[in-house]
């Protein structure tokens, strides 16, 4: 038994990794600060129409391309 009543916090870490076709870097698409702007997408969504052909921007080089989301 713990002697403290303080809750231990566990933090979800969500990443959306892919290889950019332009700069060939492995990037986390969520590093693009505009990723969630006007986007209706659930966390970890995949296999749905709106998780296919998703327009993304490479956070490293700024290249725009489309991805299909998998989990
Ligand atoms: Zn890139």
Cα 49 vs. chain centroid, distance in angstroms?
Answer: 17
User: What is the pLDDT at residue 24?
Assistant: 98
User: What is the pLDDT at residue 33?
Assistant: 93
User: What is the pLDDT at residue 4?
Assistant: 78
Residues near ion ligand 1 (Cβ under 5 Å):
20, 22-23, 58, 60-61, 63
Distance from the CA of 38 to the center of ligand 1, in angstroms?
22
Distance from the CA of 65 to the center of ligand 1, in angstroms?
9
User: What is the pLDDT at residue 8?
Assistant: 96
Q: Could you report the per-residue pLDDT of 1-60, keeping only the tens digit for each?
A: 556 789 999 999 999 999 999 999 999 999 999 999 989 999 999 999 999 999 999 999
Distance from the CA of 2 to the center of ligand 1, in angstroms?
47
CA 51-34-64 angle, to 5 degrees, is: 65
Per-domain residue ranges for the chain?
17-67
Nearest to 55 by CA among 70, 71, 69, 45: 69
Please give the model's pTM, rounded to 2 decimal places. 0.83
Distance from the CA of 57 to the center of ligand 1, in angstroms?
8
């Amino acid at each position: 038994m713990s002697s403290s009543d303080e809750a231990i916090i566990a933090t979800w870490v969500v990443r959306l990794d892919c290889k950019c076709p332009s700069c060939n870097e492995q990037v986390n698409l969520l590093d693009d600060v505009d990723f969630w702007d006007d986007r209706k997408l659930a966390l970890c969504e995949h296999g749905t129409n709106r998780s296919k052909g998703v327009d993304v921007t490479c956070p490293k080089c700024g290249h725009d391309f489309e991805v299909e989301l998998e989990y």
